[in-house]
Structure 1
Amino acid sequence: MATEYTDYVESKDKQPRTARGLKTKRKLLDAAALEFGEKGFHEASITGITQRAGTALGSFYTYFDSKDELFSALVRDMSLRVKDHASNAMNEWQDALEREKLALEAFMNFARENKEIYRIIDEAEFVDPESYHRHYEGTAARIFERLQEGSEAGDLRGDLEEAHAWAIMGMNVFLGLRYGIWSEDKSAAQVAQIANDILSKGIVARS
């Protein structure tokens, strides 16, 4: 079972105990995404985050000890949201390739709706390398698990390795950057189909 971000970046007494507490913490995380995404980690401030969230400064310290701790929690939160968004989109699929297509399309849509994710994850490489590594290692692990299931089902080759999952993730990340953040001149479905064609057909000319 996946661990929640609160399991390792916050102590037990920092976790919300009420529905109101959960709502307040959600507001702080959402506000932090906007603050960090717009200003970057170093220019972002706790005051700016609480103002965006519409909460008192004291509410921040009820759930987080520092800006660094909130940033770590936010990276984990965004990673989990990407995972959940993709999982929800993969309810019905005919084969392993269609499953990957749905996953990429879901990620593209998420990136377009949460453009700050790229700046936040990129900054995590320097601000919180552990969270940065965990984000990409977790994503690659989920892709590799799907590839293994596809191999077992007979949809995919039986010799796929972890490196194949990292290659697919790299393709997805940069497609999301080009067509989700820099521009939206192709639909998420069109981009996912192009990626799917690469997986199914390759790029070698065939007679």
Structure 2
Amino acid sequence: MSALTDDEQELVSPATGRPLTKRGEATRRRLLEAAEAVFAELGYHEASIVKITERAGVALGTFYLYFDSKQTIFEALVIDLNSRVRHSMTEAMTGATSRIEAERRGFEGFFRFTAEHPALYRVVREAEFVSPQAMRLHYERIVEGYVAGLSAAQADGDVDAALDPEITAWALMGMGELIGMRFLLWERDAAGTAPTEIDPAVIDSMMLFIRNALAARTTHEEDTQG
């Protein structure tokens, strides 16, 4: 079973070719959680299937009921982390009454997930070398939803219509990733403990920049800036 399948598809055992039972899904989840910890701690090349199964508390042979290889579970982990971070962002944005509010809530959801799952950064960065296809899929899935939201906001007159939604989505995603790295991961490394959230003042400053970048402009503003 390829790990690079849509995360909404039915999970199937590569060994039996049959859909996983509820118990099987729970075991697969334990393996993914163990892989997240092992890959984050050791990196891809030092990690091993034995270490993952030991961490998960399952027999070595059980691993192959769910994944074909170390690379397969690594790719599955990239997709799993992607699915969960997107869910965190979408859930946080629920109820927002403007695109600017949605942006803030979405970033807050992203930063909360990053604080709880710092492995996201190391796993995705290693994917550049281990599985470039998985890394690209991770970013493209985030951008896909982002573009849809920005386009809808432009149609509602809530975002500058002159902006290219795709380029804007990539720019905003890059901003969030680097700010999370600087003000979450590096702060954790400096303090020796993991912060549970990003400093609200950082988000305030970030949102001032985003508000100025996205705000719909009047005809007068466009004329004076042209």
Task: Give the TM-score of the pair, scaled to structure 2.
Answer: 0.82
- One-letter code aligned to 1:20: R
Decide whether the 8 Å contact of 1:140 with 1:166 is kept in 2: yes
How far residue 190 of structure 1 moved from its aligned partner, in angstroms, is: 3.2
Decide whether the 8 Å contact of 1:41 with 1:123 is kept in 2: yes
Report matched runs for 1:43-192 at 5 Å.
43-161=46-164, 162-183=166-187, 184=195, 187-192=198-203
Which has more radius of gyration? 2
- One-letter code aligned to 1:197: L
**2:24 match:** 21
Q: Secondary structure at the match of 1:3?
A: coil
Range 166-175 or range 134-143, more displaced: 134-143
Of structures 1 and 2, the one with the larger relative CO (CA 8 A, separation 6+) is 1
- Whole-Å Cα distance in 1 between the matches of residues 82 and 211 of structure 2? 27
Distance change in 2, residues 1:120/1:67 (3 Å): same
Q: Secondary structure at the match of 1:63?
A: coil
- Whole-Å Cα distance in 2 between the matches of residues 6 and 58 of structure 1? 25
Q: Secondary structure at the match of 2:64?
A: helix
Distance change in 2, residues 1:62/1:10 (3 Å): closer
How far residue 8 of structure 1 moved from its aligned partner, in angstroms, is: 10
Decide whether the 8 Å contact of 2:93 with 2:105 is kept in 1: yes
**1:30 match:** 33
- Whole-Å Cα distance in 2 between the matches of residues 123 and 10 of structure 1? 26
- One-letter code aligned to 2:22: A
Task: Give the TM-score of the pair, scaled to structure 1.
Answer: 0.89
How much is the aligned-residue C-alpha RMSD, in angstroms?
A: 2.3
| Greater percentage in helix | 1
1:17-50 C-alpha deviation (Å, 9 max, x unpaired): 2111111000000000000011000100101000
Runs of 4+ aligned residues of structure 1 deviating over 6 Å after TM superposition are 5-10
- Whole-Å Cα distance in 1 between the matches of residues 201 and 16 of structure 2? 46
- Whole-Å Cα distance in 1 between the matches of residues 11 and 131 of structure 2? 13
Aligned residues: 201
- One-letter code aligned to 2:181: L
How far residue 199 of structure 1 moved from its aligned partner, in angstroms, is: 1.2
Distance change in 2, residues 1:185/1:131 (3 Å): closer
Identity within the alignment, %? 37
How far residue 121 of structure 1 moved from its aligned partner, in angstroms, is: 0.3
Where does structure 2 lack aligned partners over 5 or more consecutive residues? 188-194, 214-226
Distance change in 2, residues 1:7/1:188 (3 Å): farther
How far residue 103 of structure 1 moved from its aligned partner, in angstroms, is: 0.6
How far residue 193 of structure 1 moved from its aligned partner, in angstroms, is: 2.4
- Whole-Å Cα distance in 1 between the matches of residues 203 and 24 of structure 2? 38
How far residue 12 of structure 1 moved from its aligned partner, in angstroms, is: 8.9
Distance change in 2, residues 1:76/1:10 (3 Å): farther
How far residue 11 of structure 1 moved from its aligned partner, in angstroms, is: 4.8
- Whole-Å Cα distance in 1 between the matches of residues 200 and 89 of structure 2? 14
- One-letter code aligned to 1:196: M
1:67-105 C-alpha deviation (Å, 9 max, x unpaired): 011111110010001111111111111200110111101
Where does structure 1 lack aligned partners over 5 or more consecutive residues? 203-207
